[in-house]
Amino acid sequence: MASYNLTHLKQLEAEAIFIMREVAAQFEKPVLLFSGGKDSIVMVRLAQKAFSPAKFPFPLMHIDTGHNFVEAIDFRDDMVAKLGANLIVRYVQDSIDKGRAQDEKGPNPSRNGLQTITLLDAIEEFKFDAAFGGARRDEEKARAKERFFSHRDEFGQWDPKNQRPELWNLFNGRKNPGEHFRVFPLSNWTEMDVWQYIASEKLDIPNIYFTHKREIVVRDGALLAKSDFITLLNGEKYEERIVRFRTVGDMTCTGAVESTADNLDDIIQEVASARQTERGTRADDKRSEAAMEDRKKQGYF
Amino acid sequence: MNTEIEEKIDSQKYLEMDLLRFTTAGSVDDGKSTLIGRLLYDSKAIFEDQMDAIEEVSNRKGKGYVDLSLLTDGLRAEREQGITIDVAYRYFATPKRKFIISDTPGHIQYTRNMVTGASTANLAIILVDARKGVIEQTCRHSFIASLLQIKHVIVCINKMDLVDFKQEVFEKIQQDYKDFASKLSIPDIRFIPISALLGDNVVDRSENMTWYEGSTLLHTLENVNISSDQNFVDARFPVQYVIRPQSDEFHDFRGYAGRIEGGVFKPGDEVIALPSGFSSKIKTIETIDGQLAEAFPPMSVTITLETEIDISRGDMLVKANNQPQNSQDVELMICWLNEKKLVPNGKYVIRHTTKEARCIVKEVRYKMNINTLHRVEDDTTIGLNDIGRILIRTTAPLFYDSYTKNRFTGSVILIDEFTNETVGAGMII
């Protein structure tokens, strides 16, 4: 009987593929939210596996804050070209220009929260009824309560206290017109699982995950990359450090870690010995104890 | 804080680990959060920034200790009220195994969460306070574990430090539990005396209870054999999605995508498609990484057949000599998940494997008193958190096995036609 054992990563892969196929079957117009970050790269690989030898039956969509790492955007465009996939890009800047959103004030104004507005507008524009996200439950405590199939009302809101129970492998994607679902196939994956999967599947990732020299400024303990979107405060200065990024988000809120890891195995060793969560480098989560929950309720990723 | 020397991770070993999903039932008073906190902390799944954050909050709230429940209670309302509302999932790994904990609140009003958490678990940890012994709540949790067919239960007799680590206390509780559990169907029950607070027998062996010769909790979790818990005998493949690339390269390709829910399928196997009854042979079992020589649960694969027969989502591939039951009249144990009570003769949407149909509740046979395990026949209203036995009739036949034979072809959910909420979880008898 021993030969009928699936390893944990194979089980997680099988689960994610099952979820993706379930979405393709239950929804009219799904979309996969794609940022060029490691989790969304894994998602694309799983989508390929789920529908092979056919192409996966949904487009990719990126909500571009305009504050991205240029390396991540280049990587995104390369990858999409290689896949021959359909990529939709919607810009936070357009939402601002249309007066639907307004930039924050302050020394590192984040467009993180504004993405929600652009995202919900895009979901409405294309009439998407399910949007895949790469979020994992191990990332953050509000996400630990998230379902695989997460219902959103007609305002795109999440109601954490009134979620549908999910039992066995029976997923209920029924909804009323105007409502949609966020679907998280990587729910049960950990950061380590994602890296091990990237290594074992030999997936390409943007080079900012690997060590490089970069000018950074230390602010509230976070190492923020030099960019046009950050204003130096009194006494602050840029300095060159050897760093890499554990997550890829906006330049204004994604902190670097000092590291010389230049290959996947080194990254895996670093993740194994890390004493900080990966979102520990994200200033957007530090705003309050319930920062993520509050953003998610409004329709954030 | 944790300053131990970093251990190197062996990626090859990591990739070969298996997975154990377990559920923990108990209330705050049982020391459940402390136990989970200890497992996570000792396996280095709690990070410094998480620890710093809960230390800071614990101090601010004037607690004299680090409140590990703050780790699992992720929602604002939960922290404000000091209760766990929803199932929280936690993850940790040892060099032997990866673990997923579904941490569910233990109060009676949260039966629905326990059922949800238990539905995917291989194992349940049931906490008993050594000072209180087997109480109503213990019975309730054990009944749910048994109902949901969890094959392995570890009864952790906690707070042994508060009863002077006495062997007699442990043995009395063990005997009481065994007497009660003889009414249940749990094949593997183990008992471990622990102190979650002090760490006795959680990760390290207790020096205070040398009379206990069994394994520690973590050692048990790492070694319990779950490989034969899945059904590898009765071949079941519910078709989830039909893949037709319609590209030049794969012009005639028609693959049936789904997850193996029972048994083993191999190329060359004679199969029949339900409900049509047409038979064919498996041509290939496809994955992007190449064709497989066999497929077994819980693999997600794509099956191609030698002949073209009409098959769509909701159909099932099985073997001719081993077919599931096939009926429109189905008896269920139902756990009700919604504040709106079950409506006798009411109509619901039913979801079973990849099939969706409608059903009518023909009869409520009885309701369970989940504390005493008595059947209640004079009051058959089924409300939130109630468990009862019902008879339904479906608009289309279901191809099913009893839940005891196969958790995945033996389970259904009922959905409210108007609100679309999942209102009932059913186990087919």
Share of chain B above pLDDT 70, in %: 90
The Cα–Cα gap between A30 and A26 comes to: 9
Is the pLDDT confidence value at B84 over 60?
no
CA atoms within 13 A on the CB side of A266: 9
| pLDDT value at residue B106 | 63
Which tokens go with B209?
């209870």
CB B201 within 8 A of CB B194: yes
Nearest to B116 among A166, A265, A276 (CB): A166
Q: Which pLDDT tens digit goes with each residue over B359-412?
A: 999 999 999 998 788 999 998 999 998 999 999 999 999 999 999 999 999 999
| pLDDT value at residue A44 | 97
**Geometric angle at alpha carbon A261, from A232 and A76, rounded to 5°:** 70
Contact A22 B240 (CB under 8 A): yes
Domains held by chain B: number:
3
Nearest CA in chain A to B111: A165
Q: What is the mean pLDDT of chain B?
A: 89
Write the DSSP string, B52-107.
Answer: HHHHHHHHHTT-SS--THHHH--SHHHHHHT---S-EEEEEE-SSEEEEEEEEE-S
Contact A170 B349 (CB under 8 A): no
Domain with B398 in it: what CATH number? 2.40.30.10
| pLDDT value at residue B66 | 66
Which of the four pLDDT bands, split at 50, 70 and 90, describes residue B3?
A: very low
Whether residue B270 sits in one domain with residue B211:
no
From B223, B253, B273, give the residue that closes a domain.
B223
Please state the separation of Cα B71 from the chain's center in Å. 22
| pLDDT value at residue B5 | 39
Share of chain B above pLDDT 90, in %: 66
In a domain, B122, yes or no: yes
Q: Which residues of A touch B425 (CB under 8 A)?
A: 165, 167
Of A8-12, B23-27, B149-153, the range with the lowest mean pLDDT is B23-27
Beta strands of B324-377 (E only): which ranges? 325-336, 347-352, 355-369, 374-376
Whether residue B190 sits in one domain with residue B85:
yes
Contact B49 A280 (CB under 8 A): yes
Which tokens go with A180?
């949609």
Chain B CB within 8 Å of residue A84 CB: no
Q: Which residues of A touch B16 (CB under 8 A)?
A: 7
Whether residue B343 sits in one domain with residue B217:
no
- Structural domain that includes position B279: 236-318
Question: What is the residue type of B362?
Answer: K
Q: Which of residues 41-70 of A touch B (CB under 8 A)?
A: 48-55
Q: Which pLDDT tens digit goes with each residue over B339-366?
A: 999 999 999 999 999 999 999 999 999 9
Note whether ipTM > 0.90 here. yes
Whether residue B329 sits in one domain with residue B314:
no
Whether residue B308 sits in one domain with residue B369:
no
Contact B422 A165 (CB under 8 A): yes
Whether residue B150 sits in one domain with residue B175:
yes
Beta strands of B39-175 (E only): which ranges? 88-93, 97-105, 123-129, 152-158
| pLDDT value at residue B274 | 95
CB contacts < 8 A (A, B): 204
In a domain, B228, yes or no: no
Contact A165 B230 (CB under 8 A): no
Is the pLDDT confidence value at B63 over 50?
yes
Q: Which pLDDT tens digit goes with each residue over A213-266?
A: 999 888 888 888 888 888 888 888 999 999 999 888 888 778 898 999 999 999
Whether residue B299 sits in one domain with residue B244:
yes
Nearest CA in chain A to B91: A138
Is the pLDDT confidence value at B89 over 90?
no
Q: Which residues of B touch A24 (CB under 8 A)?
A: 241
Nearest to B49 among A7, A165, A276 (CB): A276
Domains of chain A: 2-195+290-298 (3.40.50.620), 206-283 (no CATH)
pLDDT mean values, one per 10 residues, chain A (301 residues): 79 97 98 94 97 96 90 93 93 88 76 86 95 90 84 86 89 93 96 94 95 90 84 88 88 86 92 69 58 69 68
| pLDDT value at residue B85 | 61
Q: Which residues of B touch A194 (CB under 8 A)?
A: none
Whether residue B44 sits in one domain with residue B137:
yes
